[in-house]
Chains A and B, each alone.
Chain A
Amino acid sequence: MIWQLDLSVLTLIVICAFATIMVKDLLSAAIIFGAYSFLMCLLWTEMGAVDVAFTEASVGAGVSTVLFFAAVYQTSRKVGARKSGRLLSKAFALIAALLTGLVLVIAEADFPGFANPFTPASLHLSPYYITQTLHDTNVPNMVTSVLADYRGFDTMFETAVIFTAGLAVIAILRRFKKEDRHDLPEPYVISEGYPDTIIRFVARQLVPFIQLFALYVVAHGHHSPGGGFQGGVILGASFILLAISFDFKIVLGIMSERWNVLLGNIGVLIYAGIGFLCLLLGANFLDYSMLSKVLPATDKIMARSHGMLGIEIGVAIAVMAIVISIYLNIVSHGKYDKGL
C-alpha cells in the first residue's frame, strides 16, 4: 500500500459518496456513481488487491453504471419533492445511522492496526496459501488458485448465486406471450434510427478487441490478474456496447434469448461437471489432481492448473450470459422487441 495515495483517494471517495446521495436528479446520481466506482478501482489497486481492482474496473465501467442508466431511462429521472411528514423519518434514519457508526467506532478500538502484517486474519490460513500455491498447483497468482482450487466449492455457489439472480430478473420482468404485454410501458429507445456514423464505426472497431482481450483475461488469469469473472463481465460489456451504439436487435441476432439462457446453464454445468468428473475418477468433489488420469501428459500438479482453467471458462460463460440477460431484460421491459 502507498499511504499518500490511500489518503487522497479515500477523501475523493467520501466526497463522491456524499454527492451521490445528496444530488436531486437520478441521472446525475448515476453519473457520479460511475466516478465513485472509478475511484474504488484506484483504491483497490493502491492497496495491492489487483484482482479485486480488475473486477471493479470491468463491473463498474462496463455493467453496473450502465444498468443504473438503463433503469433511470426506463422509469423516471425525477426525485419527488420533499414532503413535511418526511422530516421525522429522516431524523430517525439519521439517529439509526449515527448509532451504527457509534457502535462501529467503539469496536474500532479493538481492530488490529491498519497495514499490520501480523493481524489474526493474516496469520492462520493465508500463509499456507501464500507459501504453497506454487508448490501445489504451479499457479503464481494466488488469488486464482484460492478462488478456483482451495475454495472452489465456495466459488461454485457464488456462480450459482449469479445464475439465480439472472433467473430472478427473467422471472420478474420477462413476459413471453404477446397478449400479456398490454400493461407494459413502451421501452425508451435511444439507438434505433440514430445515424451516428462516428460512434458506430468506433464501436465496430473496438468490439473485436474487447472480446479478444476478454478471452486473454480468462486464459491468462493464472499468471496475471484476471480470470473467469472478469473475462465474463468484459465479454458481456462488449455486447452491451454493441447494443448501445447499434441496436437492440443486433445483439439478439448474435445471441438469441434461447442461446443466452442455454449458455448460462452450460457455464454452471461445466463447473459442476468438472467437479463430478473428479468424483467419478475417485477423488473428492472438485479435487482436480485426479484429472491427470484423463488429460494426456500431465502430472497431478499441472492437472490442478488445467482444472482451474476449465472452471474459469465455465464461470466466464455463465457470467457473460447472465450479464447480457439482465441488461436485455431491463432495457426492453421484458419484451425483447426493442430497447436501449
Chain B
Amino acid sequence: MHSIVADYNYWIYILLMMIGLYAMLAKNNLIKKVIGMSIFQTAIIIFYVSIGAKEHATIPIIAHGHGAVEAAIDVAHYANPLVHVLMLTAIVVSVGTLGVALAICLAIHRKYNSLEEDEIQEQLQ
C-alpha cells in the first residue's frame, strides 16, 4: 500500500503506456491509433519529469529578485532542469510527428476513402 501511494507517478505512467499501446495495436481506426500514440508519448514524458521531481524543491528558475543574488545555490532546492529540457523539445517534436501522422491519414483517406484498417486491407488485396 505504501509503495502504491509513494510511487503513484510511476504506476500511472505504466498504466497510460499500456492504454496507449493497446490503442495503437487494437483500434481499427487510424485516427484512434494516432491518439494512442499521443497518449504513449505523454506517458514517457510523465516518466521523465517524475524522475526529475524533488521533494520540497522549487521550479528551476533562480529567484533573482531585483539585485539580490543568492551567494550559494543549494542543488536539492531546485528541480532537475535537464529532464525538463529534453521533454520540452519532445513535446514540440510530438506536434511535428502528429502533423505528419495526420497528413498520412488524410492521404490514405484520399485514396481508399476509409480510415478503417481492415477496409483498407480488403481494398489492397
**Which A residues are within 8 Å of any B CB, using their own CB?**
1, 6-7, 10, 13-14, 17-18, 20-21, 26, 29-30, 33, 36, 40, 43-44, 47-52, 55-56, 59, 63-64, 67-68, 70-72, 74-76, 79-80, 83, 85-86, 89-90, 92-94, 96-98, 100-101, 104-105, 108, 111-117, 119, 121-122, 125-127, 129-131, 133-134, 140-143, 146-147, 151, 154-155, 158, 161-162, 164-166, 168-169, 172-173, 183-185, 223-225, 229, 233, 319, 322-323, 326, 329-330, 333
Contacts and interface: CB of A to CB of B under 8 A. Distances in A.
Contact of B85 (A10, A115, A151): A151
Interface range, B side: 35 or more
A322 B82 contact: no
12 contacts: A36-B42, A47-B79, A48-B58, A75-B109, A101-B15, A119-B51, A126-B82, A143-B84, A161-B93, A172-B107, A229-B88, A326-B96
Q: Chain B interface mostly helix, strand, loop or mixed?
A: helix
Contact of A130 (B42, B81, B91): B81
10 pairs of A and B residues whose beta carbons are closest in the complex: A165-B96, A93-B26, A93-B25, A326-B99, A142-B81, A97-B22, A80-B116, A140-B62, A158-B89, A117-B54
A97 B115 CA distance: 23
Nearest to B31: A26
Nearest to A104: B14
B74 to A, nearest CB: 9
Contacts of B55: 1, 115-117
Contacts of A141: 60-62
B54 A115 contact: yes
